[in-house]
Structure 1
Amino acid sequence: MNSPAQRILAWCVHAFTLSGFLFAALAVLALIQGEIAMMWLWLGVAMAVDAVDGTLARRADVKRHVPWFDGGTVDIVVDYLTWTFIPALFMYLHLPWGGGPLPMILLVVVLVSSMFCYANEEWKSADYYFVGFPAAWNIVAVALWVMQTGAVVNIAVTLVLAVLTLVPTHYTHPFRVRRFMALNILAVCAWTISAGWLVAIHPVRPTWLFMVFWATGAWFLLTCVWRTVAGALRGAKATDPVDEGPAA
């Protein structure tokens, strides 16, 4: 059954996803005006929308009730703007990224390498981990800015993560991966709050707050490394030759 009420609900979910364009525009305006904290605020709001719109879309069964409008495409465009494009511009404008043409080269590296995430048909594992670095440059940019890292670190991190976009490493989706889900959600909430606080008072870094930021970030890195290593070991075991014993 496809009732008017169900179609209206589906369109409400699409409108919620489309609101990401508003927050992206507000973030760009804040970046242009040099209001860095406001830029991160709007990107944070966009990230919150992105965290729940998929769940809402599945519950409202939008594909069934509005089959001709692809909310997934909208989500990808919003994600590219808010997770990749705007943070990459911020990195170009406000992070030490070397001299000469290097910042422009790194900007292009970030923007192009990210497409190997967004255009990847195998971006998600069966247990809902991201496969390959998921172009989360907003997380990278805010972390480097809060930690006030130098050009060498920033360049190295950028190049390594761009390469990892193409490598079958695994990264935790806190709201989809079932293993450690409660801890993952708690960690992402604590990390987001601590990061937002550090952005608001930048460049001040209270030790206790910085430790919360580090500890919760380290937890996510640990879960990613664990899943990547465990997956590699399972794959190696599955491809081991079977010992059939001596020939008769």
Structure 2
Amino acid sequence: MRQKLAFLIHFLTASGGCFALLATISAANRQWSDMFLWLIAAQVVDSVDGPLARHFELKKRFPSWDGSSLDFVIDYATYVFIPAFALAHSNYFPEPYGYLLAFVIVLTGGLYFADDSMKTESNAFLGFPAVWNCVIFYLFLFEVPVGLGGVVILILAAAQFFPLDFVHPVRVRKLRWISIALTFVWLIISARVILADMQATSFDKIVLVLTGAYFFFIGMVLQFMRKKQANAS
């Protein structure tokens, strides 16, 4: 019985595909709040299925089922492809720039996902971790000017291949509980903004900026501290 229940974790991972489908339909209808809500639901699934799979040792229990491959397929859809589709379909950028920037996202994001060295020994991401769903969410919410938005996308696309650490909020041990707590804060505020039809208060925006800055920079800070300690020893 325990064996059968453990297999349900693979169904949990696969449920991210259902949220991806709902997000795609919402994006096609330009229902951005609904799209971001389904993408956040997929992100929550992605946050919990890995720890559950490792805890219940799914690789040992079901060696012919590769949860990592399933996870990668869904992650590429929810973190890269659907946000790129939304960007191209939203008319945020005038044609053909929206399409060209969406091409940049899907091409570089695909290459990033194919890189076996995308994780460091500390389980951090090496290079910007292709969380384009968050990037598009911030662009839409803060109504970033077109020129600046294009520059941000190009810089982040290149940053996927920079030798810089970006923290994984669950798997990186250093400051793990702070990262997990801030993840919950980010999810709660983001969900509240999305349910309010992308209408954010000043408080919401401040929290989103501060939590976003933490996750963007803390990996590089920890990387710098490790190198400093290594040089001192």
TM-score, normalised relative to structure 2: 0.92
Q: Which of 67, 70, 79 does residue 66 from structure 2 map onto?
A: 70
Give 1:56's aligned residue.
52
Q: Which of 99, 117, 123 does residue 118 from structure 2 map onto?
A: 123
**2:181 is the alignment partner of 1:186:** yes
Give 1:89's aligned residue.
85
Larger Rg: 1
Give 1:164's aligned residue.
159
Distance 1:191 1:109, change over 3 A: same
* Contact 2:28 2:89 (C-alpha < 8 Å) held by counterparts: no
Give 2:42's aligned residue.
46
Aligned partners of 1:125, 1:164: CA distance in 2, in Å?
A: 16
Aligned partners of 2:118, 2:72: CA distance in 1, in Å?
A: 12
What's the CA shift for 1:233?
4.7
SS in 2 for 1:222: helix
* Contact 1:95 1:145 (C-alpha < 8 Å) held by counterparts: no
Distance 1:208 1:71, change over 3 A: same
Distance 1:178 1:95, change over 3 A: farther
**2:233 is the alignment partner of 1:205:** no
Tell which deviates more after alignment, 212-221 or 81-90.
212-221
Give 2:128's aligned residue.
133
One-letter amino acid matched to 2:36: W
Distance 1:107 1:223, change over 3 A: same
Give 1:13's aligned residue.
9
SS in 1 for 2:48: helix
Q: Which of 147, 150, 153 does residue 152 from structure 1 map onto?
A: 147
* Contact 1:88 1:107 (C-alpha < 8 Å) held by counterparts: yes
Q: CA RMSD in A?
A: 2.0
Distance 1:234 1:153, change over 3 A: farther
Aligned partners of 1:156, 1:232: CA distance in 2, in Å?
A: 30
Distance 1:159 1:233, change over 3 A: farther
One-letter amino acid matched to 1:156: V
Which deviations, in whole Å up to 9, do the C-alpha atoms of 1:19-63 show, x marking residues without a partner?
Answer: 111111111111122222111111111100000111111122111
Give 1:246's aligned residue.
none
Give 2:20's aligned residue.
24
* Contact 2:37 2:194 (C-alpha < 8 Å) held by counterparts: no
Distance 1:199 1:95, change over 3 A: farther
Which deviations, in whole Å up to 9, do the C-alpha atoms of 1:220-247 show, x marking residues without a partner?
Answer: 2331330343355567x49xxxxxxxxx
What's the CA shift for 1:145?
1.1
Aligned partners of 2:132, 2:104: CA distance in 1, in Å?
A: 12
TM-score, normalised relative to structure 1: 0.87
Tell which deviates more after alignment, 29-38 or 165-174.
29-38
* Contact 1:170 1:224 (C-alpha < 8 Å) held by counterparts: yes
SS in 1 for 2:121: coil
- Identical aligned pairs, as a percentage? 30
What's the CA shift for 1:77?
0.2
Distance 1:52 1:154, change over 3 A: same
* Contact 1:117 1:133 (C-alpha < 8 Å) held by counterparts: no
Distance 1:112 1:142, change over 3 A: same
